[in-house]
Amino acid sequence: MLSFLKELVHDPYPLRTFALRCKRKLNRGSYVERLHDGNVDRPHYGYCVYHGAQLAKKLGLNRISVLEFGVAGGRGLLNLEYHAREIEQALGIQIEIYGFDTGKGLPRPVDYRDLPYHWKEGFFAMDREQLQTQLTKAKLVIGDIAETSRDFFEKHQPAPIAAMLHDFDFYSATAAALQMFDAPEEYFLPRVFCYFDDIIGSETELYNDYTGERLAINEFNRAHETKKLAVARHLLARRIREQWHQQIFVYHDFAHTRYNDFISDGAEQLPLGTRNRGTGE
């Protein structure tokens, strides 16, 4: 309790946080309501999977895949299974989960771009046997991402990917993971919700646009004319903002055959005489 009170002192919205904590303790509200409030564990995971699943439904699909890069001990992958179960029930869509990891912890940093002053070989080792006994639906893809990414699609034939959760820490590994977007479009939704874990940090990490995950994102965008990773500006415009809002990107494949499929709800036509506040029409 004392630690929670200390958190509230530095919380920009202490009353909201306290109310949500009480609501969670009482287990009140549906999963979708709690997700909308950010009142779930790893709300960024739930956000990406839920909205990816919603897009798939609007496109008439009944199966999607979700990828986590950097499983480590497996808490994130287990949490991802929780969100997938709830979203499957809420939206009536099947969700496949794949977790990518070396299985041995971080490899040796390649160069300065992998931030060797912060990351060290062997960090985040996995107890694969123990984790495997706890997983109920996620599949582990073990090995160097530079290699496992090459035959992943042929080997697993995944449903269209709707969300990617990046926690590889390194520039080199993240860049290799992003190369998977070069696979045939049939393996992806036209827009994919992405989370990048290591792009904010503190005075120790000093993440920037020239190293780490940020560099991998920037290089991907420069190398692709019709495929881009874009900031989720709708989240940054929310009145109440969470840190993870800055870590959500959306992958856009402008050349995807279904990119322009209409998915908005309802008609936008205004009756004559009704003034549109946004345009003045």
User: 14-25 vs 2-9: helix axis angle to the nearest 10?
Assistant: 150
Q: Is residue 11 part of a domain?
A: no
Q: Is residue 145 part of a domain?
A: yes
Query: How many domains is the chain built from?
Result: 1
Q: What is the CATH number of the domain that holds 79?
A: 3.40.50.150
Per-10-residue mean pLDDT of the chain, 281 residues long, equals: 55 59 66 94 98 98 98 97 98 98 96 98 96 97 97 98 98 98 98 98 97 98 98 94 96 98 80 57 46
Q: Are strands 227-231 and 139-142 parallel, antiparallel or unpaired?
A: unpaired
Three-state secondary structure call for residue 161: strand
Q: Which amino acid is at 95?
A: I
User: Residue 281: what pLDDT?
Assistant: 46
Q: Which of 89, 93, 81 is nearest to 54 (CA)?
A: 93
Q: Is residue 34 part of a domain?
A: no
Which two structure tokens, joined as six digits, stand for 254? Answer: 């402008």
Which two structure tokens, joined as six digits, stand for 15? Answer: 């009353």
Q: Is residue 72 part of a domain?
A: yes
CB-based contacts of 190: which residues, under 8 Å, 6+ apart? 59, 252, 253, 256, 258, 259, 261
Q: Are strands 94-101 and 63-69 parallel, antiparallel or unpaired?
A: parallel
Q: Is residue 20 part of a domain?
A: no
Q: Is residue 268 part of a domain?
A: no
Q: Are strands 161-166 and 139-142 parallel, antiparallel or unpaired?
A: unpaired
User: Residue 29: what pLDDT?
Assistant: 85
- The domain containing residue 177 runs over which residues? 44-253
Which two structure tokens, joined as six digits, stand for 11? Answer: 């919380």
Q: Is residue 218 part of a domain?
A: yes
Angle, vertex CA 226, rays to CA 44 and CA 253, nearest 5: 40
